[in-house]
Amino acid sequence: MEDTGPNLLEVFLRYYRILMRYKWLIVGIPGFVTLAVVAFAIISIKLPPEQSPLPNTYTAEAVLFVTTNTQSDISDSILNALGIGAQNRPVTGYSNGDMLLEILHSRTILDRLVAEFDIIEKYQLEKAAKTKAREFLLRNLTFNYSRNTGSLRLTYSDINPVFARDLVNRTVELLNEWFSQNRGIAKEKTKQSLEEKLLEVRASIGTLQNRLKNLQRKYGVLNAQELGVSQASALANLRSQVIMKEIEIKNYTSYSRSDDPHLEQLNEELRNLQDLISQNQTMLPSATGDEGVTRSVAEVATEFSFLTNELDIQQRIYNTLSPQYEAAKLSPESEPIFQVFEMAEVPEEKSGPRRSELVIKAFGGSFALSIALALFLHQLSVWKQELAVKKAQRDAPSGP
């Protein structure tokens, strides 16, 4: 029968016998390590927190609710007034939660906390003290922002539960102070920008109105529509004069000579009327009699249209900005972008360390190490036996 090698049971029994040879080692190492870790855990509990190598830590937590983003941009109001809806503009904006995280991680907040809670002296930070103090705070002060619920959790872990609570609550207060201060600045800047823009728009309206009045006074009409009517009336009057002049010439020709000076004068007047009609069809004379370059009807109509449209746009912008400016003067500060849901309180239960897990991990790790050590010692003994056998074979006398 073909030999298939040792089966699983034989392998198990072989290793079982090996481990039983080193049972005291396998039991002793985990037992010693576990007892040592248990003793270490008990001592860390009994010692004062400041002296303990593994003190209890307490985590205080405050919860903020971040409001959704709102856009109160002046440009949006202007675009709405001009009839450009939001569907025709690209979507822009920022996350209020991300902005809060940036502020909380800023040196402005961290340095205030370092100074007020005397972090450098408390933890005896010497070299690069300010930088190390900030890093120390950020290691223990954590910020977790949930976009789904819009909640921002501020937590701080320390061996002193009262200190942890005070630091978290002070962080929330500093954040609120920062926004209160900057909301006032932002409001003042917004009001100033609105005022400057209103003055600019008002000046533009005045300039456009003066240009439109000068154009109306120069050509004797109020708008482009009246310009067409006035031009048509003037041409009709000139054409009727031409007709009357032609009739007069025809009647006078019947009894005058061909070289009659009066007839020549009538013909010259007719030509002048025809030239005037031709000129008025392309060029527009000034109603005030001002001398200068005459302009075409199309040019004057285009300028009328441009000034009217531009004046209408500027007036619509002014009508939009004016209520906003009055509201900015009367309205209180803008709404905060977060609301405090829960301030931190003194934690009653420790958040760490988990000493039971430490004991279990120490036992598991030492047990695995003891088994590996037992197998190594067994293999070492096997190697020694093989070397002894080979040496004995070399030292044995050779046969005849």
pLDDT attached to residue 79: 45
pLDDT attached to residue 211: 83
pLDDT attached to residue 281: 53
Element (H, E) at 383: helix 355-395
> What is the C-alpha separation between 360 and 34, in angstroms, rounded?
8
Q: State the pLDDT confidence band at 156, using cuts at 50, 70 and 90.
A: very high
Nearest-5° angle of CA 53, CA 59, CA 60?
145
111 vs 305, more confident:
111
- Is residue 212 assigned to a domain? no
> What is the C-alpha separation between 84 and 245, in angstroms, rounded?
58
| 355-382 residue pLDDT tens | 888 889 888 898 899 888 888 888 888 8
pLDDT attached to residue 27: 84
**What type of residue sits at position 194?**
L
pLDDT attached to residue 233: 63
Q: What is the CATH number of the domain that holds 191?
A: 3.30.1890
**What type of residue sits at position 165?**
R
pLDDT attached to residue 30: 85
Q: Measured between alpha carbons, how far is residue 365 from residues 30, 34, 41, 171 in Å?
A: 8, 10, 17, 41
pLDDT at 398 over 80: no
Residue the block writes with tokens 């929330």? 172
pLDDT at 168 over 90: yes
Do 160 and 113 sit in the same domain of this protein? yes
CA atoms within 13 A on the CB side of 71: 11
Answer positive or negative: Cα dihedral of 45, 51, 57, 63: positive
Q: State the pLDDT confidence band at 162, using cuts at 50, 70 and 90.
A: very high
pLDDT at 333 over 50: yes
Query: Which tokens hold the place of 16?
Result: 């079982």
pLDDT at 205 over 80: yes
Do 293 and 326 sit in the same domain of this protein? yes
pLDDT at 46 over 60: yes
pLDDT attached to residue 91: 46
Do 35 and 69 sit in the same domain of this protein? no
- Is residue 114 assigned to a domain? yes
Do 156 and 109 sit in the same domain of this protein? yes
Do 169 and 278 sit in the same domain of this protein? no
Q: Measured between alpha carbons, how far is residue 99 from residues 90, 170, 214, 344, 348 in Å?
A: 21, 19, 53, 22, 32
Query: Which tokens hold the place of 165?
Result: 């609570």
Do 107 and 234 sit in the same domain of this protein? no
- Is residue 236 assigned to a domain? yes
Do 104 and 164 sit in the same domain of this protein? yes
- Is residue 349 assigned to a domain? no
Q: Which of 56-65, 146-155, 330-339 has the lowest mean pLDDT?
A: 330-339
| Residues of the domain holding 26 | 8-51+355-395
> What is the C-alpha separation between 214 and 191, in angstroms, rounded?
35
| 5-44 residue pLDDT tens | 567 887 778 777 877 887 888 888 888 888 888 888 888 7
What's the total number of domains in the chain?
Answer: 3
- Is residue 348 assigned to a domain? no
Percent of the chain having pLDDT more than 90? 10
Do 229 and 245 sit in the same domain of this protein? yes
The three-state DSSP-derived secondary structure of 100-136 is HHHHHCCHHHHHHHHHHCCHHHHCCCCCCHHHHHHHH
341 vs 297, more confident:
341
> What is the C-alpha separation between 343 and 172, in angstroms, rounded?
8
Q: Which of 156-160, 199-203, 217-221 has the lowest mean pLDDT?
A: 217-221
> What is the C-alpha separation between 362 and 37, in angstroms, rounded?
7
Do 19 and 69 sit in the same domain of this protein? no
Q: What is the mean pLDDT of the chain?
A: 76
> What is the C-alpha separation between 133 and 138, in angstroms, rounded?
9
Query: Which tokens hold the place of 55?
Result: 């003190």
- Is residue 215 assigned to a domain? no
State phi, psi for 172 to the nearest 5 degrees.
-65, -40
> What is the C-alpha separation between 141 and 155, in angstroms, rounded?
6
pLDDT attached to residue 166: 93
Do 189 and 274 sit in the same domain of this protein? no
| Mean pLDDT to the nearest integer, 201-221 | 79
- Is residue 309 assigned to a domain? yes
**What type of residue sits at position 357?**
E
Nearest CA to 160 out of 347, 364, 342 is that of 347
| 282-325 residue pLDDT tens | 555 555 555 555 666 666 677 777 878 888 888 888 888 888 87
Q: Which of 87-91, 215-219, 291-295 has the lowest mean pLDDT?
A: 87-91
Running DSSP on this structure, what letter comes out for residue 220?
T
CB 294 within 8 Å of CB 284: yes
Q: State the pLDDT confidence band at 78, using cuts at 50, 70 and 90.
A: very low
Do 387 and 247 sit in the same domain of this protein? no
> What is the C-alpha separation between 200 and 317, in angstroms, rounded?
11
> What is the C-alpha separation between 358 and 365, in angstroms, rounded?
10
Do 64 and 195 sit in the same domain of this protein? yes
Nearest-5° angle of CA 308, CA 314, CA 319?
120
Query: Which tokens hold the place of 73?
Result: 């941009």
E strand residue ranges, the chain: 58-66, 141-146, 151-158, 283-284, 295-296, 338-342
- Is residue 205 assigned to a domain? no
State phi, psi for 22 to the nearest 5 degrees.
-115, 30
What DSSP assignment string belongs to 22-71?
THHHHHHHHHHHHHHHHHHHHHHHHS-TTT-SS--BEEEEEEEEEPPP--
CB 29 within 8 Å of CB 373: yes
Q: State the pLDDT confidence band at 63, using cuts at 50, 70 and 90.
A: very high
| 266-284 residue pLDDT tens | 777 777 766 666 656 555 5
